[in-house]
Structure 1
């Protein structure tokens, strides 16, 4: 009997490489000279989980969310940790630089999963907060486990051949779309966080604690 290896979709090899590089870059940023405890305590305070000197999480999965916020949304002197890192280093590896450039172009939004292609490892996402066109998100795990109609708040990194997520997602039942948007609107009016992207993340972090689904991701 003959056996054939299924052909990987276009861009998937690069996607896997970028995933690996992303993990390496996170370590580099966290171990860099610019990183200090003030970043962690400041981010924890802004997101509302600092109790005295302790950070209080509801579950282990929130560690990924806090890291995502710390890297890409929390600001000191007007810059995120990733922006600060990018301004102080010169990466000789072109693939590392490409990944970092994608981080700098990244954005968050609430999406509806419109279509899933397990073969292509992609999800078609409709943006519910802006007028952006639907995008194809390449994701090995979510393309095999997510269901159509699910709502996802996630961070998208756009690259030349594909889009990929930061690795953090808040998932919500489609039936909770209106209650979710009402809750986020209410939180957005109450939170005193100057930068829009930071405020948006905190709103969905808090809404996830009330309306979110458990996500076994990465």
Structure 2
């Protein structure tokens, strides 16, 4: 199995895990709680501004610690565990995943890879494997995403908020202000809220592979 084939296999498993967690382990109150934290609840209803915001909410509910200091992902893994070796490896990587703002510094369409520089964490470089994104994205783009890291490659959770590279300083400055106002008690939650709000005002469209 070559790298792209392994990536496709892992992504299918990831999609199934997301669906299991959302369908079997996340309640309506979890959706409402997530929507309130992201400030997208109006008249007791979650209101989406763009087509992809439902998937963004799903990512937030699955990965962020909004259930009394725990994530739906960690509680699911603790209760049900992995069904096979692939699930075990992927669940472990999912639990270690984090969001950050990345600068696109290189694209290899033939290999479906993108070289990223982590703007928020000492400019660390990571190579992302993403078939859809590698065909549609350009350099001078900033991407807020959640990387799931394996020994041979990295992939995203499906979360992707894009901004013009020209907005770098503005985004860093503005996100810090929003995070201070959010004050959820969890830096990861505050960061997610900040960049979600910024995506509504200053984001640009990109094509990530859909994960539901």
Asked if these proteins are the same fold (TM beyond 0.5), I'd say yes
1:127 to 110, 118, 121: 118
Tell me how far apart the structure 2 counterparts of residues 91 and 151 of structure 1 sit (CA, whole Å): 34
Q: Structure 1 residue 30 and structure 2 residue 25: aligned?
A: no
Q: Report the 3-state secondary structure (helix = DSSP H, G, I; strand = E; otherwise coil) of the residue aligned with 2:56.
A: helix
2:197 to 180, 186, 206: 206
| 1:155-174 superposed matches below 5 A | 155-174=146-165
More helix by share: 2
| Superposition misfits of 4+ residues, deviation over 6 angstroms | none
Question: Per the alignment, in what secondary structure is the counterpart of residue 161 of structure 1?
Answer: coil
Equivalent residues in 2 for 1:100-139 (5 A)? 100-131=91-122, 133-139=124-130
Give 1:177 deviation, angstroms: 1.1
**Partner residue, 1:5:** none
Q: What's the counterpart of residue 55 of structure 2?
A: 64
Q: Is the 8 A contact 2:136 2:207 kept in 1?
A: no
The structural deviation recorded for 1:207 is 0.6
Contact kept in structure 1, 2:133 and 2:206, CA below 8 Å: no
Aligned match of 2:10? 18
- Which residue number corresponds to residue 4 of structure 1? none
Measured in 2, the distance between the counterparts of 1:151 and 1:31 equals 32
Task: Give 1:215 shift.
Answer: 2.3
CA distance in 2, matches of 1:209, 1:62: 10
The two structures have a TM-score, normalised by structure 1, of: 0.91
CA-CA distance at 1:92 after TM superposition: 2.5
Native 8 Å contact 1:112 1:127 kept in 2: yes
Whether 1:143 and 2:131 are equivalent positions in the alignment is: no
Identify unmatched segments of 5+ residues in structure 1.
Answer: 1-7
Work out whether residues 68 and 166 of structure 1, in 8 Å CA contact, stay in contact via their aligned partners in 2. yes
Q: Which stretch of structure 1 is more off in the superposition, 162-171 or 50-59? A: 50-59
**Alpha-carbon distance in structure 1 between the residues aligned to 2:3 and 2:100:** 24
Q: Partners of 2:183 and 2:115 in 1: how far apart?
A: 33
TM-score (norm 2): 0.94
The higher radius of gyration belongs to 1
Q: CA–CA distance in 1 between the matches of 2:161 and 2:98?
A: 14
Gaps of 5+ in 2: none
3-state secondary structure, aligned to 1:119: coil
**8 A contact 2:175–2:194 mirrored in 1:** yes
Which residue is equivalent to 1:54? 45
Alpha-carbon distance, 1:132 to partner: 5.3
Number of matched residues? 209
CA-atom RMSD, angstroms? 1.4
